[in-house]
Amino acid sequence: MQSLTNRSVQVVNKKMTFWERIYLPAVIGGMMITLKHFFKKHNTVSYPEVKRPMASIYRGQHVLKRDEQGRENCTACGLCAVSCPAEAITMVAAERQKGEEHLYREEKYAATYEINMLRCIFCGLCEEACPKEAIFLTDRIVDADYGRGEFIYGKDKLVEPIDQRIDVTKRQVWDYTK
């Protein structure tokens, strides 16, 4: 018979020795390996109590930015949704009403804006496509959760709080040619 690779191994029904049959040496061997790792330096951290420093250009949870006056930058143009390869972004546009000029920078705004974090691959194309500097990825990690529905992030989670601005300047000035 022709062999496709030179890695084929002939299977033999070898009879187990007495020590192999009682499994004790194998169990002790396994426990020795476990014991050895007790005294080794750990490469893991106890997340979320301990967090490793993230690169300032890490692509994590998105933020929808406000301008200096606290108005939402997003004009619901839909370019981020169109550019998203995972089809993770959906939105509903609305017209800004009289008296809402302090809330929304443009005449059109996103009444609802949602990102499905389970679909998102954190590629950053939405950020690239946005003409209004409204959406950025940040160095925040999307929290784990139990229900799939919890991963649909709406404006309540995406728009930055007025009193807790999220600094994205490092992403904008980073020299990607380095």
166 binding ligand SF4? (CB under 6 A): no
Which of 57, 70, 86, 155 is in the footprint of ligand SF4 by CB under 6 A?
A: 86
Contact status: 135 vs ligand SF4 (CB under 6 A): yes
Task: Compute the least distance from the CB of residue 24 to ligand SF4, in Å.
Answer: 52
83-86 contacts at long range (C-beta below 8 A, 24 or more positions apart)? 83/125, 83/126, 83/128, 83/129, 84/120, 84/125, 84/126, 85/121, 85/123, 85/125, 86/116, 86/119, 86/120, 86/121, 86/123
C-beta of 70 vs 124, nearer to ligand SF4? 124
Q: What is the DSSP letter of 163?
A: T
Residue pair 105/75 in contact (Cβ under 8 Å)? The answer is yes
Q: In angstroms, what is the minimal distance from the CB of 48 to ligand SF4?
A: 22
The amino acid at residue 116 is: N
168 is a contact residue toward ligand SF4 (CB under 6 A): no
Contact flag: residue 126 with ligand SF4 (CB under 6 A)? yes
- Under rule CB under 6 A, how many of the chain's residues touch ligand SF4? 26
Interface positions with ligand SF4 (CB under 6 A): 74-80, 83-86, 88-89, 115, 120-126, 129-130, 132, 134-135
